[in-house]
Amino acid sequence: MDSMSRIKKIFNHCDPSIDAIVIKNGSEPFIDSMFFYVTGIPTGLFEGCAAIIYPDKPMQLIVSSLEEDLAKQASAETLVYETSKEFYDLLQQCTSTCNTIGLSFKNITFSDYITISKKLSRVTFQDISSAFISARMRKDDFELSRIEKACTIADKVMENIAQFIRIGMTERDLSAEIDFHLMRYGADAPAFETISSFGTHTALPHYSHGDRSLSQGDLIICDFGARVDRYHSDMTRTFVFGSASNHQKTMHQVVLHAQEKGIQLIREGVIAKDVHQHVFDTIEETEFSGRFIHSTGHSLGLMVHDGGIGFNSQCSLPLEKDMVLTVEPGIYIPHVGGVRIEDDIVVTKNGCRMLTSSNRDLIEI
C-alpha cells in the first residue's frame, strides 16, 4: 500500500493554495473512509481520530490511545490524545503554519466542522470532497487485489448456496447461513446487510430479510458481498425453489440478456450513462417495460456505493481503466416477484474483466 502516491493523487485534484487536508472522523457511522484510503490501516474503528496530509511532507495521525498500536501500521507520525482539549492542541500544532486547509464537507460532521473552524480561527477552509472522490475512482493494484479477494469469497458462497437452502427456512435463516459462510471463506465481515428475499418479497429491490419461510415455486434473490481489508464485493443471483414457471424463465432471460448487452458495451472511454441506457432499453423493448426501476450499477471500493461514477441516467463521465463497478439490471413486478443479476467488473482499455463469475443461469433448487 503506497500512501504517498494516493496522497499525491488527492493533491493533484486540489487547488494549489491548499497547505494541508484534515480528515476528521466522527463517531460510528460517521467515519470518513478517506482516513483508511490514505493510511491503509485494515482494522480498527478510529472514532474521533484525524489524519492530516500535506503535499510536501509525511502525514500525521492524531489518534486516541485506544488505537495507538493499530495506527503504527501506517507510514505516518502518530500523535496520541486522551482528552478533546489534547486533540485540538495537537491539531493546532500540526497546522500552525497553514493558511488554507482542505476539509471534505461531504464527510465531516457538522459539529466537527464548527469546532475545527473555531479552534483554527485564522485558517481558510476549502471543500475538497470532489478531489477525494476523483482520486478514488481508479483503483490501484493493492485495492484491486482486495476487491478481487472479496469477489472470490462471495462467488464461493454463491456457488454453494443451493446446499443450504431448504423448504420452510426463513429469509433470516438464509441470510445467517450466507453471512456465516462469507466469514468462513475469509471475509472480515459481510459487505452490507445481506439480502435474502423469497416469493413476492423479491419484487422489493432493497428489502433485506424477514420471517417469511420458503415455499415451493418461490423466486429467491440473494444479494450480498464480502468485506476484505475494508474493500467490498456486491453480487446477486436469482434462484427458483422447485421448477421455474415460464413467466419466471422469461423474466430471468430478459435480465440476463440486458446484463450481457451492458457488459459487452463497457470499455475505457464509453460514457457511463450510455451503458445504463442500453441496458434500460433492452428491458424496455420487452413485455417488462417500466419494470426496471433502479440504475444499472454503482462504483465499488472502500464503500459499497463508492461514489464518483455509476451506470445511471445522470452520469456523463467516461469510463476509465481500473474503475470497478457493478452491473445489476433487474425486473420487479409488484406482488408477484422480481429477478436481479449482479456482477462486479473492472474496466480495461478494450472491455472489462469480470470479477465475479458464478453461474448466471436460472438455477432450480
Q: Which of 102, 98, 86, 93 is nearest to 49 (CA)?
A: 86
Residue 234 found at the interface with Mn ion (CB under 5 A): yes
124, 99 contact by CB (below 8 A): yes
Part of the chain binding Mn ion (CB under 5 A), chosen from 17-25, 201-209, 226-234, 344-352: 226-234
Q: Which residue is nearest to Mn ion (CB)?
A: 234
The least distance separating Mn ion from the CB of residue 214, rounded to whole angstroms, comes to: 23
Question: Is 32 or 234 the residue whose CB approaches Mn ion more closely?
Answer: 234
**Between vectors from CA 300 to CA 299 and to CA 302, what angle results, nearest 5°?**
130
Does 259 engage in binding with Mn ion (CB under 5 A)? no
- Is the Cβ of residue 169 or residue 303 nearer to Mn ion in the bound state? 303
Q: Does 344 bind Mn ion (CB under 5 A)?
A: no
- Does 295 bind Mn ion (CB under 5 A)? Our answer is no
Of 277 and 326, CB closest to Mn ion = 326
Q: Which is nearer to Mn ion, 67 or 306 (CB)?
A: 306
Q: What is the dihedral of CA 342, 106, 142, 54, to 10 degrees?
A: 170
- By the rule CB under 5 A, 343 interacts with Mn ion: no
**What's the CA gap between 360 and 225, in Å, rounded?**
16
* Stretch of 72-80, 94-102, 321-329, 346-354 contacting Mn ion, by CB under 5 A: 321-329
Q: Which three cell numbers stand for residue 65?
A: 490511545
| Member of 326, 339, 347, 355 binding Mn ion (CB under 5 A) | 326
Provide DSSP, 63-119: EEGGGHHHHTTSSSEEEEESSHHHHHHHHHHHTTT-SEEEE-TTTS-HHHHHHHHHH
Judged by CB under 5 A, which stretch of 6-14, 227-235, 279-287, 307-315 contacts Mn ion?
227-235
Coil, helix or strand at residue 232: strand
Check: CB of residue 232 under 8 Å from CB of residue 300.
yes
Q: Which residues bind Mn ion (CB under 5 A)?
A: 234, 326
